[in-house]
Chain A
Amino acid sequence: MDGQMFSVASARQELDKGNVSSLELTRACLARLQAIDSELHSCLLVDEKGALAAAAEADERLRKGERGSLLGIPYLVKDILMTKGLRTTAASKILENYIAPYDATVIRKLKKAGAVMLGKTNLDEFAHGSSTENSAFGPTKNPWDLSRVPGGSSGGSAAAMAAGLCLFALGTDTGGSIRQPASFCNLVGLKPSYGRVSRFGLLSMTSSTDTIGPLTRTVEDAAMVLELIAGRDTKDATTLSVPVGDYHLPLSQGFKGLKIGVIPSYFKDGLDEGLRTEAIRALEIFKKEGAEIINLDLPYNQYSVPVYYVITPSEVSSNLARFDGIGWGRAEEGADNLLSFYKATRGHGFGPEAKRRIMLGTFALSAGYAEAYYKKAQAVRELIKLDFAQAFQKVEVIFTPTSPHAAFKLGEQVNNPLAMYLEDIYLAGASLAGLPAISVPGGFTEIDGQELPFGWQFIGPMAQEASVLRAAAAWEKINNYQERRPNL
């Protein structure tokens, strides 16, 4: 038995019937972790003791007759969320030995619901990246092809999920970091609307686009996790006051009558040939199932990547200023005054991508340049948001590929940060506009004799997670790509 045998929904049924216990599920996940994670390196920390205690407690609650959607379900957390009493590093040397003094709101909610946290997963340092190669503790490998990346920055969560090391995983998505790894690993990855899930306890990266969301095997599982972690939080003033939606009804609504927007230019230059063929086939299927395909243009979306790469480093430079070696995190020895202490602590503690972004952000916000860079980017951002708002007057969801290609090889893009930034081409727009977006397994494409997964993205209007869940579930029902497993 292992995590690969169950979805959250099916485990829920078996747990409630008493056919399996949370301890059995948890032990199976831990055993599989021990057996194969040295190969994958998806986890930075495994809390065996805590997990077994939580599982035992969940079993006790189940025995007493308590029922709950995630009670007893083992999961993993991207190591950028505070987990009380456990090391929380953001995959950075600057937090190598940092113990979180409190739980993030999402963690607190999951604990209260009786979910079983197995440990923390690897990521690009401070979520800066699209491959998990920027981790200060080594990269994670894609279970579908160990010579390739699992995507990023939530690569550890994605690899662990794909390998069956847990039943669901939490990631964060600031510019695609849940969706793209989901696409590279044959998973469902949901980026909720900005503010749908509390960011309290999330180590801030880009405060105006950061979101927390699930990586799961099925769309139903993603809906179950979202339902639990979503909601208003007094500790995060940016959380939405709009009530949490019904995420179960859309799962059975299908494609009939659904208005799907398509931007023809997205399926031309830069998109892998194989994926383009598959996209055309997918559109035919949508139509056959009763959806209405409407051609759209998002004229300012071509600027979403440059806008993102001004706004992100600017906010990053501000958010990472708190890592000064005083009070928490790495503190350099031997510096004799405050200034050299700051410089040495941060210079040695941060990795190259973190430093690049801090400097880019410092530049974009500095006197003489803030007007031309940061403020200009924010203005173009408003135009991008307007494009989406206008589009959603005509359609209910927008369909795009998640990534222009399947997983690339480890080391392939490491020396070219700009190439890495272009990974975000289909992803950045929804992040800048704060919209919900999902990546759902779209199929497999053959590269160098290897079958690699790829995902389709659906973007929805603000706070309309139901729309993207509907489209993703409708597609999933026809295809069953989630049934496939990597050979490990």
Chain B
Amino acid sequence: MQFKEADIAHMADLARLELSAAELASYGAQLSAITAYIEQLQKVKTSSVALAPILYNIWREDVVEDWEVEENGQALSQGKLEQGLLKVKRVL
């Protein structure tokens, strides 16, 4: 898979990453090389295998466990707070 700068820019946009001009240029070549290496997986016959790993649900009782007030405070203290709410940037 050969990535053009426009492809890299699109992926960066989806991933919410701002890239410099130099990064846009170098990532294209690097990611193309990596995906070329990964292409070999296409040759592997996987039709006889279930296409996903077998997963099990692990259950617990639906009971609320409160955080310790101090830990909760510590966790929230590192964002921008206003009246007990987290502030975010203008969305629209």
Contacts and interface: CB of A to CB of B under 8 A. Distances in A.
Interface of A: 84-85, 98-99, 101-102, 234, 237-238, 300, 303, 306-307, 309-310, 317, 321, 324, 326-329, 331, 335-344, 346-348, 350, 352, 355-356, 358-360, 362-363, 366, 372-373, 375-383, 417-418, 421
Interface in B1-39: 8, 11-19, 23, 27, 30-31, 33-35, 37-38
Interface in B43-92: 44, 46, 49-53, 58, 60, 71-72, 74-76, 78-80, 86, 88-91
A360 B31 contact: yes
Contacts of A378: 51-53
Given A327-B79, A328-B78, 15 more contacts: A102-B74, A234-B60, A237-B58, A303-B40, A326-B79, A337-B90, A344-B18, A346-B16, A347-B17, A355-B23, A362-B14, A366-B14, A375-B51, A379-B49, A418-B33
B33 to A, nearest CB: 5
B38 A359 contact: no
Contacts of A379: 44, 46, 49-52
Contacts of B74: 85, 99, 101-102
A421 B49 contact: no
A338 B88 CA distance: 7
B40 A417 contact: no
A179 to B, nearest CB: 22
B90 A421 contact: no
A324 B78 contact: no
Given A309-B34, A343-B17, A355-B19, A382 B50 contact: yes
Q: Please classify how large the interface on chain B is, using the bins under 10, 10 to 19, 20 to 34, 35 or more.
A: 35 or more
A359 B15 contact: yes
A315 to B, nearest CB: 13
A362 B15 contact: yes
A378 B58 CA distance: 21
A339 B88 CA distance: 11
Q: Which of B8, B13, B49 has the most CB of A within 10 A?
A: B49
B17 A327 contact: no
Contacts of A373: 38, 41
Contact of A98 (B41, B78, B80): B78
A300 B33 CA distance: 22
B44 A383 contact: yes
B34 A359 contact: no
Contacts of B40: 303, 306
A206 B74 CA distance: 27
Contacts of A101: 71-72, 74-75
A56 B52 CA distance: 52
